[in-house]
Amino acid sequence: MSQHAPTDRTRLRRMGHKAAHDKATIHAILDACPVAHVGYVVDGAPHVTPTLQWREGDRVFWHGSAASRFLRAILGTQACLTVTLTDGLVLARSGFEHSISYRSAMLFGPVQAVTDPAEKEARLKEMMDQMFPGRWPQLRPMTAQELKATTILTMPIDEASAKISAEMPDDPPEDRLWPVWAGIVPLETRLGTPEPAPDCPPGLALPQVKFG
Ligand SMILES: Cc1cc2nc3c(=O)[nH]c(=O)nc-3n(C[C@H](O)[C@H](O)[C@H](O)COP(=O)(O)OP(=O)(O)OC[C@H]3O[C@@H](n4cnc5c(N)ncnc54)[C@H](O)[C@@H]3O)c2cc1C
């Protein structure tokens, strides 16, 4: 199915015309930004933790130290994961109408762990392949201890929504002649010039990097 049927949780009430529930849109947002924020509740207290995420098919993954309080607390619970791309600052004629252009995705679901060592290694390789194509075979192979010390968590992309805001300022007609600049100032995140580590020997090929 190419559409996530909106549930009571994922139906947009505010600005419903900015909603999307099709898989292609939600996947594209997840694939364009490896930074996610994961919301969960520990001992009745809400937490939101930023982390790297990657998508494989209809699942999203994230990883970290097996000693991470975050990863241990969230396992087996229901969580909410968001990814946000900011595309522009929207300047209107009044402060009230200022806003931002964005594409965001919000996922709800149960958090499970990837436990099989071979599958864990395959998932970590996939994470690296997505961000640094071709780098995995060049690396010092991962040790069994490193694999054990890494927790990988996953959530299905079942209950999900996207919200996309890409509009010029929506000033009311009586404000439109107000003599102040109005429009969009684009925002972008892009790769800069690689800076070698001080102990990186000269002459080695630069890595391929895919971010966004
Ligand atoms: C970068 C950025 C800046 C924003 N700034 C503001 C701001 O300053 N003030 C403000 O009020 N709002 C802002 N928003 C919009 C905000 O994310 C909410 O959509 C909005 O506040 C309405 O919240 P709600 O709980 O009433 O939405 P509802 O429509 O009641 O939410 C119902 C369901 O819709 C879906 N949904 C809602 N919002 C989003 C979303 N952003 N992405 C994906 N799915 C969503 C979820 O599944 C949610 O459970 C911003 C969004 C982004 C990405």
Q: What is the pLDDT of residues 113-163, one digit of tens each?
A: 999 999 999 999 999 999 999 999 999 999 999 999 999 999 999 999 999
Q: Is residue 199 part of a domain?
A: no
Q: Is the CB of 163 under 6 A from ligand 1?
A: yes
Predicted confidence (pLDDT) per residue in 30-69, tens digit: 999 999 999 999 889 999 999 999 999 999 999 999 999 8
Tell me, what's the pLDDT at 1? Answer: 62
In 3D, which of 20, 163, 194, 17 has the Cα closest to residue 87?
A: 163
Question: Does 159 map to a domain?
Answer: yes
Q: Is the CB of 161 under 6 A from ligand 1?
A: yes
Please write the tens of the pLDDT for every residue from 71-111. 889 999 999 999 999 999 999 999 999 999 999 999 999 99
Does the pLDDT at position 212 exceed 80?
A: no
Supply the range of the domain harboring residue 144: 17-168
Contact 171, 93 (CB under 8 A): yes
Spell out a b/e string for 177-211, using b for 16 or more CB atoms within 10 Å of the CB, else e: eeeeebebeeeeeeeeeeeeeeeeeeeeeeeeeee
Query: Does the residue 193 lie in any domain?
Result: no
How many Å lie between the centroid of ligand 1 and the Cα of residue 77? Answer: 23
Say how many domains are in the chain. 1
Q: Name the pLDDT band for 165 (thresholds 50, 70, 90).
A: very high
Give the nearest ligand 1 atom to 108 CA. Answer: 47
Q: With a 6 A CB cut-off, is 112 part of the ligand 1 pocket? A: no
Centroid of ligand 1 to alpha carbon of 175 (angstroms): 26
Q: What is the CATH number of the domain that holds 142?
A: 2.30.110.10
| Residue 88 belongs to a domain | yes
Give, for ligand 1, the residue of 14, 25, 101 to mutate: max count of ligand atoms closer than 8 Å to Cβ.
14
pTM over 0.75: yes
List beta partners, residue 186: 88
**Is the minimum distance from the CB of 104 to ligand 1 under 6 angstroms?**
yes
> Does any domain span residue 102?
yes
For residue 145, the 8-state DSSP code is H
Q: Specify if 106 maps to a domain.
A: yes
